Amino acid sequence: MPEKFSKWVACWGNATSITDRKEATYAKDLTLRYPIRACFSGSKLRFHFSNLTGTDSVQISEAYVAKSVQSLDAAQSSATSANIPAYSPRAITFGGQTSATIPAGEEILSDEIPFDVTAGETFDVSLYFADFTQMNAGTAITGPLSGGKYSYGNFAKSATLPDDLTRKTNWIYFLNTIDIFTEEKNFALVCFGDSITAQDWPDYLTLRCAREGFNNVAIIRRAVSGTRILREYSCITYAAYGLKGATRFPIEMNVAGARTVIVQHGINDIIHPVGVEVNKFRPWSDMPTADDLINGVRSLYITHARKLGLKIYSGTLLPIYGWRTYNENRDIIRTAFNEWLRTAPDFDGCVDFDKAVRGHDDPKAFAAGFDSGDHLHPSAKAYEAMAECVPEELLK
């Protein structure tokens, strides 16, 4: 009988960028735990860890994968009393070793870990850092399926984390991508962008896929808040706004089993410049034209996606009316760029996020109930609408 599972496909992923530069940049005696919802069944896992933006090497003291308590509770409800599942962490190894060093500016891949996974289950990835660790490589994400916890002390093998030593976090440190050895029919869809994509709509798209029976696709998020296509900042104030598109895209498209990428990127190029008289790090010379953005997407994203054999879909930019740097010229640039995103033959298609969330009477602004309140980021309801507007052809 042939093996049911035959190829590696990314089942979870995020970008790795520069973390927010706060007073404390090092941690010690720290456990990180991230719950991962399995979209596919499979027989093995492998883990990508990144210190891409670190300037010190990082030592992972211990790392484990285990079925989460929630998944065990669900299994227990249908198990006999003689067959009650237990929390059983399995070591993640690197060349057979249970610890690993991630050199500054580099990424590493774990060994293949035998680990049976059933679609819909949740498993925990737990990391422990015994010594002083530079927390400079990670990204912040939100959404109903996103986030983790950290604890002071070594609780990487514990079924539950101690309440008095544990807090929630939306920062994903070092853990970059998880691949699963799964069926040939399964594939990954990559969502590339900035804070709009680092927030909720990819999670809502994952939930939509589960609800509507699109069971062969994993939604992989590659997004960094504040990032731009054409430029990046070189100061600690805005360091967390991340690497520019020319740097990010070739690295972040390293996704096993990927077929397609949706690119929703460019609004920060338009809204950031304010002039050195207002902010020395945001000169007017950074303001792009629509043609600058178009040429950037063509040369940085489309060309590389084609080299990888990926289909590439454009994602239109959302309304910005009322945002603190809004003016008519910025919206003219956004509108012209959106028109190209909708009509350019360079793409395999367009996901018209703008149309899905803009007002009918005033298309410059969000529809009623779709504005988070800052006039730039959508509300939860609007993020759901963004997920709903992704064409079915990308999910089948």
DSSP 316-384: PPPP-TTSTT--HHHHHHHHHHHHHHHH-TTSSEEE-HHHHHB-SS-TTSBPTT-B-SSSSSBPHHHHH
Q: Give the pLDDT of residue 271.
A: 98
Q: Are 141 and 221 in contact (CB under 8 A)?
A: yes
Q: How far apart are CA 301 and CA 265, in angstroms?
A: 10
- How many C-beta atoms surround the C-beta of residue 209 within 10 A? 20
Q: Are 150 and 33 in contact (CB under 8 A)?
A: yes
| Residue 107 CB-half CA count within 13 A | 19
Q: How far apart are CA 47 and CA 278, in angstroms?
A: 44
Q: Measured in Å, how far apart are the chain's first and last C-alpha atoms?
A: 27
Q: How far apart are CA 256 and CA 57, in angstroms?
A: 26
Torsion, CA 21, CA 23, CA 26, CA 30, rounded to 10: -100
Q: Are 28 and 236 in contact (CB under 8 A)?
A: no
Q: Looking at this protein, which amino acid is placed at residue 348?
A: D
Q: How far apart are CA 212 and CA 35, in angstroms?
A: 23
Q: Give the pLDDT of residue 24.
A: 86
Q: Are 103 and 51 in contact (CB under 8 A)?
A: yes
Tens-of-pLDDT digits for all 396 residues of the chain? Answer: 347 899 999 999 999 999 998 888 999 999 999 999 999 999 999 999 999 999 999 999 999 999 998 766 665 555 555 566 788 999 999 999 999 999 999 999 999 999 999 999 999 999 999 999 999 999 999 999 999 999 999 999 999 999 999 999 999 999 999 999 999 999 999 999 999 999 999 999 999 999 999 999 999 999 999 999 999 999 999 999 999 999 999 999 999 999 999 999 999 999 999 999 999 999 999 999 999 999 999 999 999 999 999 999 999 999 999 999 999 999 999 999 999 999 999 999 999 999 999 999 999 999 999 999 999 999 999 999 999 999 999 999
Q: In this structure, which long-range contacts are made by residues 207-216, counting pairs with CB atoms below 8 Å and at least 24 apart in sequence?
A: 207/144, 207/145, 207/387, 208/387, 208/388, 208/390, 209/39, 209/395, 210/39, 210/120, 212/395, 214/392, 214/395, 214/396, 215/39, 215/40, 215/119, 216/40, 216/183, 216/185, 216/186, 216/187, 216/396
Torsion, CA 200, CA 190, CA 13, CA 48, rounded to 10: -160
Tell me the helix, strand and coil percentages in the chain, rounded to 5: 25, 30, 45
Q: Are 169 and 150 in contact (CB under 8 A)?
A: yes
Q: Give the pLDDT of residue 69.
A: 83
- Under DSSP, is residue 64 helix (H, G, I), strand (E, B) or coil? strand
By C-alpha distance, which of 394, 16, 30, 24 is closest to 218?
394
- Residue owning tokens 């303001």: 287
Q: Are 281 and 228 in contact (CB under 8 A)?
A: no
Distances (CA, A) of 272 to 15, 25, 217, 267, 287: 21, 26, 35, 9, 8
